[in-house]
A and B are shown apart, each in its own frame.
Chain A
């Protein structure tokens, strides 16, 4: 009986869905859609992907899915090679920065013709065309704090330093974050009014006062004020925060769930404090997960894929995603939903995201990361001055971009 009821509900849903959906017809042939995703199991995201595809297959039994999971870098490499061999999958569910290499190689197609992009958060636009449909947005850094150690998050960097100094003693630290990765430098760079690219979005602007100030600030936190331990990478920062040895932590939205579980009521989320000297909020990079369409996708498969993407990003499923994965939606309508406003953690995350800037997805970005990383580490090891580092970053980035051909 129960089974029958479920089938009934689903068929009603399907009917309602079919009635109000516009555009492409759902094909009636037997189709198998190969979907590649980089979502992993560890945060239940892969399970979420398959729950969507299964629900879709229940509505349209002639359309089945083969969900292939690959980790982020592998997905990029394999999709490139598979496209080269003419055996690309039918749909990608992947991170926004893949749009850069994929458009450069010409192996995905623009999606403007199939969707009304105005209903989504800003997507990847290059050469005047949109290259992906947002599934979720975020992936941004924010400030986490342990209420047992610090009652209120600091509002600006002066306050941050003052509070952190109070909290630092022995093996207790005021603030920790992964100092080795440029992804954690980017927010500060924005806060000091800098950007890695000039207006055109491809010319590196790393040798700037903003970069020097950023490096100096990071250096000062460690050496001048001594509020950050000698050498912190991701795992160290994570461990210190989890062990209650650090009052504040800068980390990404992917780790929200774990901390919330561990710290419970003591866990707080806030935007990274404003930079006092510029009056600007640090701007973490935001990105998200996107559907991308392989170049050769067409015909009945294309129709089916369009239908599926509409289904996966409809309001109901976007809300569902918010609740199960704690990820901010790709659909604008859901971003204003009270489910976000009423949850302090999600609200804090959403507020921080509003200060963020989209992470550039051009291929040149790889050179920027690779140029910043070693110099940043040299400065933070006390082996190079910020001025020299900024100059070295710029020349490394330029040399690298030149080689991309």
Chain B
């Protein structure tokens, strides 16, 4: 069995589109009837509505003055709509600060994690060495550890290493936790790149490391992008570890911790909470949407060569 892998072609869709006309009869649209197409559009529109509806509700609550999470009114834009909550979270609460903190931590994490993973994955993909399969399986098992299991010891560790209340502890923790999954994605992708390309380069006098940087890395853009996106969204939304490492000094909080401050035991500032939720969701959505074209079959865990 072979799979026509997208591999080292970062613009998978384009060649298909140009060819689409020619082979569309067999492949892409297979000559769907108008009726069938209409049905498909209806299903997709229906699903899109389900997809966005909760987001619209969050938006709706964020526009309500006072603190009303519930209302007998089901309309999305309430009659007394106001952007007051947005003003409060942005200029009176520290949301801008929290978002900046999150961006700083998350981007650094994603980059460090990606560099560590990209080089390790290369070793796993191209070399056979002692302990290789054990290590690979170990990496996979780390995905199975429930986070709740790590919290107490991680907190003790952070205290001992004097990393409480610093980004340093958080960035290192996030980068490391993201590494196993990233290695698997990247290794899977490197495996699909023909080794002959590097061999040719090495014959031309390049060192293995040069071959990696000059050939493998540029060809792996889609997988690197996918990995970056995964790491980014993991770190962006993370709450439990941030809570124990950062503590609560207002100026250093990431947004999930900051948002949590708007919730008391019983008393929740729902309007502000939802306004903040909308604001923090925007960067991730932009990132997801702009990078979604790269999210190709990066996730193959190296089994493609069957």
Contact = CB atoms under 8 A, between A and B. Distances in A.
Contacts of A258: 67, 267
A246 to B, nearest CB: 12
Interface string A167-195: 00001000000100000000000000000
Contact of A85 (B160, B243, B266, B267): B160
Interface string A79-95: 00110110100000000
B248 A68 contact: yes
A46 B147 CA distance: 30
Interface in A19-63: 40-43
B266 A81 contact: no
Interface string B53-78: 00000000000001111111000000
B247 interface: yes
A332 interface: no
B155 interface: yes
Interface in B79-102: 93
B264 A70 contact: no
A204 to B, nearest CB: 24
A255 interface: yes
Contacts of B248: 68-70
B156 A235 contact: no
B152 interface: yes
A68 B68 CA distance: 30
A235 B264 CA distance: 13
Contacts of B70: 235-236, 239
Given A42-B269, A239-B68, A78 B264 contact: no
A115 interface: no
Contacts of B267: 42-43, 254-255, 258
A262 interface: yes
Contact of B247 (A40, A42, A68, A234): A68
A255 B261 CA distance: 17
Interface range on chain A (Cβ under 8 Å from partner): 20 to 34
Interface in A200-242: 234-236, 238-239, 242
B149 to A, nearest CB: 14
A298 interface: no
Nearest to B71: A239
B260 interface: yes
B131 to A, nearest CB: 33
B265 interface: yes
A255 B67 CA distance: 12
A72 B155 contact: no
Contacts of B266: 178, 234, 252, 254-255
Contacts of A69: 248, 250, 261
A107 to B, nearest CB: 15
20 contacts: A41-B261, A42-B261, A69-B248, A69-B250, A70-B247, A70-B248, A71-B260, A71-B265, A72-B265, A81-B244, A84-B156, A85-B160, A235-B69, A235-B70, A242-B66, A242-B68, A243-B68, A243-B71, A258-B67, A258-B267
Sorted nearest first, the 5 A-B pairs with minimum C-beta distance are A69-B248, A85-B159, A239-B70, A85-B156, A87-B159
Interface of B: 66-72, 93, 152, 155-156, 159-160, 164, 243-244, 247-250, 260-270
Given A42-B261, A242-B67, 5 more contacts: A40-B264, A43-B264, A68-B247, A74-B243, A239-B69
